[in-house]
Amino acid sequence: MPLALFSKQKAVPDDNFDIELDDRKIRVNVTRNRNARRFILRVSAATRSVNLTLPSRGSMRDAHNFVDRHQDWLKTQFAQLPDPRPFAPGAIVPLRDTPHQILNVATGRGVVQISKTDDDLPTLCVSGDPAHLPRRLTDWFKKQARADLARQVAIHADILGVTPGKISLRDTRSRWGSCAANGALSFSWRLVLAPPHVLDYVAAHEVAHLREMNHSPAFWALVKDTCADTVTAKEWLKTNGRDLHGIGVTL
């Protein structure tokens, strides 16, 4: 959960800074939000950095002090992060819960294709400069996730008779999906790494919020009406979801 501290200090320009945490240099990304009434501190699993939101009258001096006072909390949060599994040639990563090996192909211009190796292991062939492989593969995974989610959202929306708004992809640690009051839906692109029935459940969950913006019995009845694997999908995320946040992460 975010940590909070009320502040009434004079506004100063935003800035980022580094801290030492367990002999590692950690970047603190500072953002000022005029609507914020408190300091909000979060850890990014994707970038292994710290995000700090300041209220409009919060000072950078207070920002440094706030982070210093919560270093023990930060250490606990970083210790709970999954081990990083970078996108690199030879690495094995899941796509729709099926292991794929990453292969860099020197020819071509940033194309990602799926093929089979001699041992019948599916391969993600990423062409072009290997220095750009992580970004290209991440973009490709997001494209696959968007297609899968758009399809499943349309199916569930048709069943429930609702019209979803814009679908966006994020890399959040705290939630797999969300539904805004205006009907916009947001999902973690990492759902494409999970079994298809898990992605389908999250899509059904958020579409059901278009009818019931709560977690009442009526809401869960809607989810179950459109998704048969609700229980198994929730259990899968509870058991395995944490590990998905380490895939594609480079320290």
Encoded tokens for 194: 């999970």
Distance CA 18, CA 26 (A): 5
> For the chain, where do the domains classified as CATH 3.30.2010.10 start and end?
92-244
Report the run of H or E that residue 185 belongs to, with start and end: strand 185-188
User: Any idea which residue has 């380490």 for tokens?
Assistant: 246
Report the run of H or E that residue 51 belongs to, with start and end: strand 49-55
Which pLDDT does position 117 carry in this prediction? 63
Which pLDDT does position 237 carry in this prediction? 96
Distance CA 240, CA 82 (A): 10
Q: What is the pLDDT along the chain (251 residues), one digit of tens a residue?
A: 444 433 344 433 458 999 999 888 999 999 988 888 899 999 887 788 899 999 988 889 999 999 999 999 999 988 888 888 999 999 999 999 999 999 999 776 778 999 876 667 899 999 988 899 999 999 999 999 999 999 999 999 999 999 999 999 999 877 999 999 999 999 999 999 999 999 999 999 999 999 999 999 999 999 999 998 899 999 999 999 999 999 998 87
Which pLDDT does position 250 carry in this prediction? 80
Encoded tokens for 15: 């800035």
Q: Which residues contact 131 (CB under 8 A, 6 or more apart)?
A: none
For residue 117, how many other CB atoms are within 10 A of its CB?
11
Q: Which CATH architecture has domain 92-244?
A: 2-Layer Sandwich (3.30)
The pTM of this model reads 0.78
Distance CA 197, CA 183 (A): 23
Distance CA 115, CA 130 (A): 18
For residue 239, how many other CB atoms are within 10 A of its CB?
9
Q: Which residues contact 15 (CB under 8 A, 6 or more apart)?
A: 30, 60
